[in-house]
Structure 1
C-alpha cells in the first residue's frame, strides 16, 4: 500500500465517516475479524442479531407491532433464525402501502433514500447511521480482498443521475482527495469510448467500478482498436447493478489484464455479496441473512435456485426483514478455498438493465431513464420500451394525474438523451404488463444492437 493510500485509508476516510456520524471504522474492524469465523459461529451471531432486531421492530414499528399482536405471541417467544419463517415475506408494494407504519416510532436522524426501481416500482425508505456505516464497511472489507483500498486510484463508470449531478465543488474536491474519478456511463458511441480509454490510460487506476455492460463496451472498443489496457497495473474491475454475463467477464478481464469481481446488492436491501479472488461470492453474513425461497415462499434445497429474500440485521428504524429482492439465485453449500467462513451466493439472475439506442447509434444506459422516472410525483410503476430507433413508449402507473408540464419535461429529457428525431409516447395505464417470460423489466430495448455484448 502506497503512502498516500495509507493516509486516506487510515486517516482521511475514517475522519470523514466519523464527521458524518457513521460507525464505519468500528464495523470494519469487526468484519475483518469475523470473516474468518466458522460458519457455525457466524450463524450464532446472526441469531443473536436477529433476535435483537425482531424485539426492536415489534416494540417500535407499527406494522410489526400490530402483526405480532395478531399472532398472539410475545417478543420473547422469538428464538432466532429457526423462527425466521414465522415472519411474513414482504416486498416494495407492501412497504409502500404501509407508509409511516413501516417507520419506527420516534426514530430520528434518518436519511431518505430511493431505489432506482429495478422492477419499475421505486421505493422511498430511510436509513440510520448504523445501517449506512455497516454497508460502507462491508464494501470496504470486500474491496481490500483484492489488494486495493480507499485512496488507491479509482475510475468509476456510472450512469446514476444522482451521483453525476452531485459533482459540486465539495464532492469534486473530496473525490480528488480520495483519487476517485467519475465517468458518466452515457452516450457510449465510438468517440466517447475512445475518450474513456484515453482517460483510463492517463489516470492508470488501480481499480475500476461500474456497470459490466458499460465496462465491456470499453474493453471491446480497446480490443477492436488494438489498444492495450493490460499494462497499466489495474488490479480489479468491480461490476455491479447488472448480471455479469460470461462474455462480459471474459473481455473485461482479458483486455484490462485484471481480476473481475462481481457484486450483488441494493440500496434498500444492503451490500449483499461480492466475489473474492478465489471465485466465491461471499454474503455479508454479519449484517444479512439470505434465504432462497420457491414461488410459494418455501425454502428450497441447498444449491437449488429460487427467489432471493434478504433480512438486513441492521436498521430497525426502517426494517427490511424477509424482503424480496426480485432476483433469483442459489446458496452454494461448498466452502470457498479462500478460507473465509462467510456463506456463498451463486447463479444470481437479476433483472436485465437494458440500454436504449440513440438516433446516432450511441448506447445510453438504462439507469439514465430510471432516475428520470423516479422523480415523477405519484409514481407507482413504469416501463420504458424502445420499439425502434425512432420511437419510445413510456408506460406509467400513477396514483394521481400527471401534470402537463411534468409530462413535457419527461418527453424533453428522453429526447435529450436519445436525439431530436425520437418520438416519445406517454401512456398512463392501470397495469404494467410483464415480459413474455414473466419478468418485470423497467427499461426494454427491442432495437437490434450490433454490439457483440448483446
Structure 2
C-alpha cells in the first residue's frame, strides 16, 4: 500500500528533513518559538524582496522596518504569469505546482518550493496523528472528481493506491444514498473525510432512515470536514448522526494547511509554518480576538511571495500562552460573499447561515439551500425540503430575510429536488449575480 509520504519521497520531496524540522520547532518553548518565527518571517520577506521582482514592485523602493508596513498581498496581485511571479534562482525541478479550484472567483496557479510543500505534509501527518489517524487508514472520501479522461481515472488510481474510497458528491438521489449505505455496511472504513455539506446531506438521509453511521460501520473512529463552512450546529448534528467525533480542517491550497481541530475541540493554527494576522477593510491590523480579514504569511515558501496574504476569509484567533499553536476561534465565511442592499448597506453572505438556522428551528425540514441575488432587491431561494412548499414556509422565509438581511426585499422561493454544485463538488450557499456589485 502506497501512502502520500511514500509517493512524495519517490518524487524527490525532502519529507524526512521536513519532519525533523517540525520536531525541532515543537521542542521550543513559546518564547523561543516566537523569536524564531519572527526572524523566519523577516528572512522570507527579505528573500522575496531581493529575488522576486513582483514582490519588490509591491513593496516599493524601500524595504520597511516594521512588519505592518509590508503590503498586504491580494489574490489579484499574484494572478499573473509564472514568468512574473516566480522567485529568481530556483530551478523548476525544485518546485511544486498547483492551482485553486476557483470556487471563490478566478482560479489561481501557484508554486511552492519542494521543502515548503514537504513541511505542509509533515504538518498534516502530525495533526492527523494527534487525533488518532494515520496515512494508511482506510478513508471514506466525500469529494468531487474530474469527469474528463484521463483525469478521472488518474484520481481513481490514486484513491486505490492511497487506501481511500471516493463517494462522488454530484448525485444525491435516494438510490445513490442507498449505495453509500451499502458500502458503509460492507467496508471497514476508519474515518470519513470531505466536504461539509456533502457529509451533512448523507447524515440527513441517515436520520430519515433512522440509522446512525457508526452502527453500520463499527470500525469508524471519526469524521473530518473540510473545504466548506461547518457551524457548531452542523458539527453537533454530524456527531449525533454519525456517532463519531468531528474534526474541522481548514486550508487554502495555494497557501497552506492552516488549522485543524485537536482532541480538545480547539482548532489549532499551523503556527509552525504561518504567521497569522487579522485586519480591517483598510488593511489596519486589529485585535485578533475581535475578528476581521484573515491575513497569513507562509514563512517557508520561497517560490512565490505569499507574504501577508489576504486569503479571502473572515475570522478570529486567540493566542495561547501554553502552546506554540494558537487557536482559530472563528471562521465566518468569505470576503467576496457580499450582499449589496437597496438601502446602500452591505452585508456578509454569512448572514444567510442565520436564516438557515432560523428555518431549521421553525420548520425542521430544510435539507439544503442556495440563495442567488439577481438584483439589489431580489433574491432567488432554492430549497431542498422533505415536504411540500406551503404558505407557512414562504412566510417564515420572508420573515427571516426581514430579520437578518433587510425589510422590503423581493424573495422568489422554489422547492427543488437537488442543488447544482460547482465542478469541484462544493456547494456555494450564496451567489451574487449582480453585474456591478456597487451599482
- Shorter-chain-normalised TM-score: which range? 0.7 to 0.9
User: Could you tell me how far apart the structure 1 residues matched to 2:123 and 2:288 are?
Assistant: 25
Structure 2 Cα separation of the partners of residues 255 and 66 of structure 1: 52
Is 1:155 the counterpart of 2:159 in the alignment?
no
Residues in 1 aligned to 2:148 and 2:274: alpha-carbon distance in whole angstroms:
26
Counterpart contact for 2:18–2:122, Cα < 8 Å = yes
Instruction: Give 2:193's match in structure 1, choosing from 198, 206, 209.
Output: 209
Pair 1:365-2:421 in alignment: yes
Secondary structure of 1:345's counterpart equals strand
Which blocks of at least 5 consecutive residues in structure 2 are unaligned?
A: 335-348, 351-368, 371-381, 385-414
Select which of 252, 257, 261 maps to 2:243. Answer: 257
The DSSP-based 3-state class of the residue aligned with 1:210 is strand
Partners of 2:85 and 2:309 lie apart in 1 by 13
- 2:233 pairs with 247, 253, 268, which one? 247
Aligned counterpart in structure 2 of residue 238 of structure 1, from 210, 221, 224: 224
Aligned pair partner of 2:174 in 190, 194, 199: 190
Aligned partners of 1:135, 1:200: CA distance in 2, in Å? Answer: 30
Secondary structure in 1 matching 2:126: helix
State whether residues 154 and 180 of structure 1, in contact with CA within 8 Å, keep that contact through their aligned partners in structure 2.
yes
Report the equivalent of 2:102: 117
The verdict on how the C-alpha distance between 1:164 and 1:31 changes in structure 2, with shifts beyond 3 A counting, is farther
Is 2:170–2:425's contact at 8 Å kept on the other side of the alignment?
no
1:18 corresponds to: 9
Deviation at 1:99, TM superposition (A): 6.0
Find the counterpart in structure 2 of residue 275 from structure 1. 261
- The alpha-carbon deviation at position 117 of structure 1 amounts to 2.1
In 1, Cα distance between equivalents of 2:226 and 2:53: 34
**Residue 44 of structure 2, aligned match among 40, 45, 53:** 53
Give the direction of change, closer, same or farther, for the CA distance of 1:279–1:22 in structure 2 (3 Å limit).
same
Aligned-partner SS, 2:165: strand
* 1:233 CA drift (Å): 2.9
Answer whether contact 2:13 2:118 (CA < 8 A) is retained: yes
- Asked if the contact 1:154–1:179 (Cα under 8 Å) also holds between the matched residues in 2, the reply is yes
Aligned position for 2:35: 44
Q: Give 1:147 deviation, angstroms.
A: 0.8
Equivalent residue of 1:319, what SS? coil
Does the C-alpha gap of structure 1 residues 162 and 55 become closer, same or farther in structure 2, counting only changes over 3 Å? Answer: farther
Could you say which residue in structure 2 is the equivalent of 1:399? none
Per-residue CA distance 1:130-182 (angstroms, 9 max, x = gap):
2221222221111111111011111110125389963436x544533432112
Native 8 Å contact 2:319 2:327 kept in 1: yes
CA RMSD of aligned residues (A): 3.2
**Cα pair 2:22 2:119 within 8 Å, conserved:** no
Give the distance between the partners of 2:383 and 2:97, measured in 1 at CA.
33
CA distance in 2, matches of 1:246, 1:164: 39
Q: Distance in 2 between matches of 1:102 and 1:318?
A: 6
1:341 aligned onto 2:324: yes
Task: Summarize the Cα distance change of 1:150–1:99 in structure 2 as closer, same or farther, 3 Å threshold.
Answer: closer
**Contact kept? 2:68, 2:285, Cα under 8 Å:** no
Alignment of 1:52-201 (within 5 A): 52-68=43-59, 70-71=61-62, 73=63, 83-96=66-79, 100-107=83-90, 108-109=92-93, 110-161=95-146, 166-168=151-153, 172-201=156-185
Per the normalisation by structure 1, the TM-score is: 0.71
